[in-house]
Structure 1
Amino acid sequence: MIRTTIRRVSTKSIPYEPIPKNKYNQVRSAYNFKPAKNNGFVYSPPAAIIKPQMITPYIFLPENDPRRELAKQHRIDPKIVSEMPIIRQIKAPHEREYNVDADTINKIKELRAADPERWTIKEISKEFNIEMNKLHFFLRSQFPKKTTEPVKVVSKKSLDRQKRKQLWLRNQY
């Protein structure tokens, strides 16, 4: 009976609503925000470019473009740049350093073998300027492997089952 009534309703008679209704219950929900519908088009202009000379690189400007002169005014002389002191050296994150060679590794292993109490990983790291995790990688053969036996976890149910079985075998239930 319900299906027949739904079939009789034409899809053209159902009003189209471009903005979906609130998914929250508007009567009982705390979120009861109802946006105001605008009639017609919504005017939303794109963000304007404030300074086009900042967008177009100097290399791509034509020779007769007046923006070339503006770009030349803002340039810094290479002589001045070469005289400027380096404030700090920038190291990119996760940048690899290839400053460790086979001779250094052999020297580290010899020092470690000669006096392991004096030459700790931290001391070697400071001396040779190598990260500690790299040193662990190089010296992994010298560290004894920790072998831990897996602990067998026995559930309480299985222990109870074993007790019941023992009691049953002794006729004590």
Structure 2
Amino acid sequence: MATMKNKSMGIDIGISELNRKKIAEGLCNLLADSYTLYLMTHNFHWNVKGPQFNTLHNMFMAQYSEQWIALDTIAERIRALGYPAPGTYGEFVKRATIKEIKGVPKAEEMIRHLVKAQEATAKTARKLFPVVAIANDQPTADVLTQRLDIHEKTAWMLRSLLED
């Protein structure tokens, strides 16, 4: 019986290696922002208090639950393009545009931080569209469109809590 050597197959999906690499890099940045946003939202869920406790506690839980699922979607797209997905705090800190919040802010400040973090994540996703369009990469465009829809809608809903 002949032994088979462990050879990896090349990827031939109609997107050049250079474009796959550029798209994967952008998705790695999106994953870092998304994970940082997830962590911030979960932290605020645990630590929110005040008159809006129940509303915010439940809202934050719905948001971080949705974000958790999105992390897998983004990471799996990176893998489908043939690149490793980052998965360490150190890697996320290097790539993320969202900065860690120190301490436990009051509920209204939590909302403000989350609006900014949602918008930052949307901007990270939007930056990737030109490369995705050139590469004719519809699956990544679909992921980006879905993420933009969620982040922009969530930012609007959070922002609405701050209006009179």
Q: TM-score, with normalisation over the residues of structure 2?
A: 0.20
Relative contact order: is structure 1 or structure 2 higher (C-alpha 8 Å, sep ≥ 6)? 2
CA radius of gyration, larger in: 1
Is the helix fraction higher in 1 or 2? 2
